[in-house]
Amino acid sequence: MLVHICCSVDSHFFLERLKKDFPDEKLTGFFYDPNIHPYSEYRLRLLDVERSCKKLGIELIEGEYDFENWLEAVRGLENEPEKGKRCEVCFDRRLEVAAKKAKELGEEKYTTTLLVSPLKSQQQLKSSAERIDRKLGLKFVFVDYRSRGGTQEQARVSKEEQLYRQDYCGCLFGLAKQRAEQEQKNRFLYAESSQLLDEMISPLTNRILPASIEERLALYRERIRLEEKGIPYKIIKEKFLNWRILRGFVKVSKQTVPSYFLAYSIMKREYAKGKIEFEVEDVGYMNRDEAKFITIEKFNKLTGSDFKDTKELMLKGVEFEKEVEARRAVVFGEYDLSPVIVTDTIPDSKVEVFLQSKIYVDVRENLVTLR
């Protein structure tokens, strides 16, 4: 039997039950999920599914990541709700590709781990499979592992196996709607919304940001290395203040100059105009929005770097932790969120600062070895 797999949280429990209920069937996993975006998230989910299938002794085949074709298939359905028409089209596409793969392998039966997800409509999945069966002459195996305490058992298995628990289905449009709903709820708790589509934000420098998909991908690769070496570990979550910059630039005498905003820089408004009133220990203090300027030379000293100019820093960047350390050396305390801006020289004329950035409560994972 071919088993279409969407993620490890659904598949691990689902495959355990299938092995028990169909002991005479050779199960083959098929990871085909072009709906998952961005690609780094796709790699992360595949990595965890590979680990899961290896533990269960199940062969895994990776399908094509044809994201552009998937986008074309759901065109015009971007604003559909969860379990709406977009999901139906998505199921049709993924199950048809899975069914064709089953036929290619000489299998007569196929199923999907999407059936166990409490966020998916089993009826939609069943209807999609019935249309495909009539078209291809295969048999879709419908199983309900959600009822009779199945969802609770799935959660237990997921926690016990320390599986990667993603917080969105994988679809860009579903994520956008989910974040919008969270933002609306948070308006009752915060004067300003704290939600951000940070899954879709990657810096030009390709550096790894806190609580980013790339950080999680590195963590889950490291956990596989620990398992291979037999080193016990735990994945521990922490709540912290995260930061993302959306846009920022500086003009001196109305001319844009290369500039780099250090982590956790934030302004009350997106625009400030003023001048450098004085300098202390190579830090220029602007008379607006508590902004501070340092030269690329000082930044190099603080971080142990050797960038020839600010433009090179903008293109290459440094490790996030180094940047935070540099910031601490310039500001007055751990909770100082003033903008700290790197330029080639401290501006000596009128300065305009444009900055869109956001600070928000977030959760990140840490890997802790137990010996």
The residues, any chain, with a CB within 8 Å of residue 297's CB and separated by 6 or more, are 282
- Residue 193 predicted with pLDDT over 60: no
pLDDT at position 191: 42
- Residue 119 predicted with pLDDT over 80: yes
Q: Alpha helix locations (H) across 161-286?
A: 172-186, 213-228
Name the amino acid, one letter, at 114.
L
pLDDT at position 271: 97
Confidence of residue 371 (pLDDT cuts 50, 70, 90): confident
Run of H or E including 357: strand 351-369
Instruction: Report the pLDDT averaged over residues 67-81.
Output: 95
Q: What mean pLDDT value characterizes the chain?
A: 94
Residues of the chain within CATH 3.40.50.620 domain(s) are: 2-164
pLDDT tens by residue, 16-53? 999 999 999 999 999 999 999 999 999 999 999 999 99
Packing angle of the helix pair 213-228, 39-56 (nearest 10 deg): 20
Confidence of residue 190 (pLDDT cuts 50, 70, 90): very low
pLDDT tens by residue, 292-311? 999 999 999 999 999 999 99
Within its chain, how far is the Cα of 324 from the centroid?
Answer: 22
How many residues appear in the chain? Answer: 371
Reported CATH class of domain 2-164: alpha beta
pLDDT at position 276: 97
Instruction: Report the pLDDT averaged over residues 81-95.
Output: 95
pLDDT tens by residue, 204-220? 888 999 999 999 999 99
pTM of the complete model: 0.91
pLDDT at position 334: 87
